[in-house]
Amino acid sequence: MTTYRLMMLGPPGAGKGTQAKRLAERFEIPHVSTGDMLRQARRKGTELGKKAAEYMNAGKLVPDEVVIGIVRDRLSEDDAEGGFILDGFPRTRPQAEALTEMGIELDAVVNVVVSDDEVVKRLGGRISCPNCGAVYHKEYNPPAEDDKCDACGQEGLITRDDDKPEAIRSRLSGYHEKTAPLIEYYEAQGALKNIDGESAPDEVTEAIVEELEAN
Ligand code: AP5
Identify the domain containing residue 193 by its residue range. 5-29+82-116+171-213
Flag whether 36 is in a domain. no
- Is the distance from the beta carbon of residue 22 to the nearest atom of ligand 1 less than 6 Å? no
**Does residue 25 form part of some domain?**
yes
| Cα-to-centroid distance, 211 and ligand 1 (Å) | 22
Q: Is 171 in the pocket of ligand 1 (CB under 6 A)?
A: yes
Distance separating alpha carbons of residues 80 and 91, to the nearest angstrom: 20
Q: How many structural domains does the chain have?
A: 1
58 within a domain of the structure (yes/no): no
- C-beta 68 within 6 A of ligand 1: no
**Does residue 155 form part of some domain?**
no
The CATH number assigned to the domain holding 100 equals 3.40.50.300
154-175: pLDDT as tens digits: 999 999 889 988 999 999 999 9
Q: Which atom of ligand 1 is nearest to the CA of 199?
A: 53
Catalytic residues: 16, 91, 126, 160, 171
| Structural domain contains residue 95 | yes
| Distance (Å) from CA 15 to ligand 1 centroid | 6
In a domain, 165, yes or no: no
Q: What is the pLDDT of residues 80-132, one digit of tens each?
A: 998 999 999 999 999 999 999 999 999 999 999 999 999 999 999 999 999 99
- In order of 72, 81, 121, the CA distances from 77 in angstroms are 9, 7, 37
Q: What is the whole-number distance in angstroms between the Cα of residue 134 and the centre of ligand 1?
A: 12
Q: Is 208 inside a domain boundary? A: yes
Query: Is 185 within the bounds of a domain?
Result: yes
